[in-house]
Every structure is written in structure tokens, then in C-alpha cells.
Structure 1
């Protein structure tokens, strides 16, 4: 069996191919651990291991009682989830309450165990930063893989000593903003700063500092990435959304979007598409959801209409 790799964005996709017939469909014989080509029957691999649990569980309680390991490693946890904790409930392994002197001893043990997990100023910084990152990511509805990327960016900034003497909240917000750009999730600086404890100015400064010092490659924001979310907020039809994307793509090919903000381009494209598809929204509504001024919408509207030769009926 050959495995070819092709890149899609920042991810690798593995493609398995049968050496005998070139087929790409396989089935597993779990009792024997064989991987078999469904086209010609060739056993492409054998004695494969099942890394899953050997037990079965049908309820959450059964699953919790039978698990013997913790959760996976995560960069969003200060210690990556590798440390243990003494349960705050004063009960022994059999579920019986701990009494008197033992309770006081357990309390002291729990306190010193917690203190021993904090390994220095950087670790204390990570504890507070990751807590704020979880809060901000939840407010912005950022998916888990993007949170992991944001945590990695913050750790790089901390390792480069960029956070020292500066606002931790601003760097947390900057990490989430850059992670969203890497994963093509449309979140503007204004949206992030609104939910963050840092100001818009501090956030912008932190973003520029991380980009220049932490050696992170981030794709440029695109108006095309903004259109689906703006369309959803405006409750536009699918035809209008597709038309707006076509307008943006054509404008990008002609270079009309160079040097212009993606929010204004996306808003103007939706305004034009709404007129053409008879699904019109006002400039004020588009300005509100795209977080740009009505003047910007009108200016980008004129640029797109003139550049693409679009005829708008009065």
C-alpha cells in the first residue's frame, strides 16, 4: 500500500492506494487485524493494532468509572494537562468521608500539591493567560483546533519574552485573532477587542509585535471569507451569497481589492448582489454587521461597479 500526501491549507491529507489495482477503498477485518482492498482482495496490511479501549460503556457514568487515563494533552492548559490534582471532596477511594485529623492533613497536602505545580513566573502567567483565552474563545465561538493554534502562538510570544512588561490580555486576544486568520475564521479586530479586556489600540500593537517577532506566517484577510457569515447575519438567500462571492473573486482577479479593507469589499459585494438578485438590504444594515461605515460601503460599491462594469437598474 502506498500513501500519498497532498496539502490543503495548513493540513496534510493522507491518501491510501492499493499496490495491486490502484484502488482507494479498503475494509478492516478486525478479528485478524487485516486491512483489505475491496476491489481486488489484496491484504495491504496485517496485524494492525486497535488503540481504542477494550471495554464498552453505554452511559456517561459507566464511561467515567471505566476510564483509566486522563484527557489528551492540550496546549490550552498551562501544564498541557499532564499534572494530577487531589480531589476537593473529602472522601476516600471507597466514598467514605474523611474525618478529623485526616481532613486537615489532606487540606495541607492539597494546598502544597497545588503550589508545587506552579513552576515559575512563566507558568503563573500561562495559568492566567489560558483562563482568559478559554473565556474569550468561548465568547467568540472559536473551535477547539483554532484554540490550540492560539495557545501555541501565545506560548511562542511568551518564550520570546514579548509579554514581559505588557498586557497579558492584549496578547491573548492577539493570539486568538491571528489563529482565526490562520484557520480562515472571519473575526475582525473590532469583534475581538469588543469581547476582550484589552483596548483596540493595545490589541493592534500586540498583533503587529507578534507578527514581527514570533516568526508566524498568517494569510492576509480575505473579503471572500467574510461573506458567508455576513450573509447569515443579514439572512440573505443562497443565490445572493453565491453572487457576492462571484463579484469578490472577479474583483480580486482584476486587482480591485488591493489596498482596500475586506469588510468594505464584502459589504459592497453583498449590497450589489442583493440588488441584482432582488434580495436587497440597506447600506445601514450591511454597515452594522460588517462593522464598517456607510461611506465605506458606498465608496467600495462605486469601485466594484466601475471596475467590473456592473449595470445597476434604478
Structure 2
């Protein structure tokens, strides 16, 4: 029994009604009036209709509905029985569970698990996982990427989902949690965009700056300076043809070298997934006019003329 105040007794409005789950009634404790009947219990069903001794999970509600699978993955399983009525004259069981899932759904479920595992390794949200699952479902149903492995397609779908949700990850970050090469993910990425006629926003240096600086343990002042430096370098067209990731890495290197918390090119490259030589090439283009890049309120520990020259 539990008490609820959702409705009240007309004769005793202040009385806390008692809910009888077995009968589905709401009863007034003062006069015994049944205020409501046929109340549906919305709690979990903890009754099992299979072999109690052999089943450790007492729930019979099954897995959550998945709209991406055929029939929403709603199936019925026949529990084992020791009754004589469940066996024929030869002692064989009369009822069998056929394969409840088609080969197509089985492939989808396995790939969804793979996407979830990859997402867990790089701390992606469920919203991104759901979008990646939907993208893979669309590609799978369209059969437009025949010959490509499901893992490569799943990795590309996860990369696209991150871009579309506004939290882009680099190809190298996706490669690190999958068994697919960067080149293969890039190919699938282009094919999926073309097949689904979808698009992704262009990435900018600001998309990665906060995460890279946080992973490097840099202060907010250095992060703000690096963000400003990268933006100004792009606006002044100092780094033509350079990727936003390499520009962001070079900006972080420049800002950190001018501050008290200096980071090496290797440290930044390991976090950003960029080679040391790539950072040096972008930095070399930016250091020539470094005085134009720093914000006016930046507090220099190392003056601009003493910054590393490449």
C-alpha cells in the first residue's frame, strides 16, 4: 500500500487516500469509499513467466524499443517448461524459439554496439551516438556503399555526426578508437555525404581550441590568446592552405611560448594529432607578423622578439 494525494474523498477531502495495487482501487481510510478504481500500476513488472530457478533476471519487459530495427525489435520468447504438455510423445519439446532477428537487423545491432563503444572511448554524448546510428541505418538501407566494411562506414558516420552536432573530432581521433585507416574513413565520409545528399559545416580553429587547451592544462588566458591568434592569422590570410587543426596547434604553441606555461611542439602535436613538422610550418608563417596577432591585453612573460624562430 502507498499513499497518494492526486484525488480526494468528497466527504473527507483532507484524508490521504490509500492505493490498493492488487485491486487497482483508491480507498478513503476514513469512510472506506472507493474514490477511484481500475488504477493502472505504471511501475516495473517484476514477475517472470519462465523457469524461475533458471532465470536470474526477473523482468519480462524485454529490451527497449529500437525504431531503427524491423518491428522495432519487439519479439516474444517462449520460456522453458517442465510440464508434460510442453513435450510430444517422443519427449521432444513442442515449441521452439525461431531466430527472432533477421540477418539485416543483426548487422545493424552489431554496428550500433561498435558505434557506442567508439563513442564511449572519446566521451561522446548519446545525441551524437543516435545521429551516427541513424546515418548508418540510412546508408545500410540504401545499399550505396557496397564493398566497404561496416566498421569503416560506422567510423565515418560517427565523424559526420560529430560535425553535424557542432562538436567535431579529427580523423585521427576517430582512427584511434577504430581499426580503420584515416584514408578509408575519409573515402567513406565523402561517399556518405554524396549518397545521403547531406552536408557538414566547415570546421574552424575555434572548434578545437577549447578541448586542446584543456587537455594540455593551459590557463584561460593562454586559451583566449591562442583563440585570438588563430582567428587573426586566418583573417589576415597568413596561413593559406593550412588546415584549421594545424593553425590551432601553431597558435597554441605561440601563445604558450609567450606565457609562463610553455608547451613543446611534441606535447601539442600529441594532443592535436598533428605532426611536429606541420606545426612548425604553420608557426613559421605566423611568427613573421606575430606582433599583429596577440591581443592587446595579453601579459607577455617572453617578449615577441624572444619567441622561438624557425
What TM bracket, shorter-length normalisation?
0.5 to 0.7
Aligned to 2:198: 216
Shift of 1:198: 2.0
Q: Is the 8 A contact 2:159 2:174 kept in 1?
A: yes
268, 274, 278: which is aligned to 2:250? 268
* Residue 181 (structure 2) pairs with residue 205 (structure 1): no
Aligned to 1:34: none
Please tell me the root mean square deviation across aligned C-alpha atoms, in Å. 3.3
**TM-score (ref. length: structure 2):** 0.67
Q: Is the 8 A contact 1:150 1:175 kept in 2?
A: yes
Aligned to 1:99: 82
159, 174, 177: which is aligned to 2:159? 177
* Residue 119 (structure 2) pairs with residue 128 (structure 1): no
Shift of 1:215: 0.8
Q: Is the 8 A contact 1:224 1:245 kept in 2?
A: yes
Bigger radius of gyration among the two: 2
Q: 1:254 to 1:131 in 2, by over 3 A?
A: same
Partner Cα distance (1:80, 1:144) in 2: 23
Shift of 1:249: 2.3
Q: 1:80 to 1:222 in 2, by over 3 A?
A: farther
**Secondary structure in 2 aligned to 1:193?**
helix
Aligned to 1:117: 101
**Secondary structure in 2 aligned to 1:158?**
helix
Partner Cα distance (2:101, 2:111) in 1: 16
**Secondary structure in 2 aligned to 1:222?**
coil
Shift of 1:87: 8.3
Matching of residues 1-314 of structure 1 within 5 Å: 65=46, 74=66, 78-79=69-70, 81-86=72-77, 98-99=81-82, 102=86, 105=93, 109=96, 111-112=97-98, 115-118=99-102, 122-256=104-238, 258-306=240-288, 309-310=292-293, 312-314=304-306
Shift of 1:55: 7.1
Q: Deviations over 1:199-243 (max 9, x none)?
A: 222212111111222211111222211111111221111111111
**Secondary structure in 2 aligned to 1:263?**
helix
Shift of 1:74: 4.8
Structure 1, unmatched stretches of 5+, are 1-29, 32-53, 57-61, 91-97
Partner Cα distance (1:239, 1:206) in 2: 39
Partner Cα distance (2:78, 2:127) in 1: 29
Q: Deviations over 1:233-261 (max 9, x none)?
A: 21111111111112222233334455311
Q: 1:192 to 1:80 in 2, by over 3 A?
A: farther
**Secondary structure in 2 aligned to 1:266?**
helix
Q: Deviations over 1:44-69 (max 9, x none)?
A: xxxxxxxxxx979xxxxx76759998
Aligned to 1:40: none
Partner Cα distance (2:146, 2:157) in 1: 15
Partner Cα distance (1:211, 1:170) in 2: 14
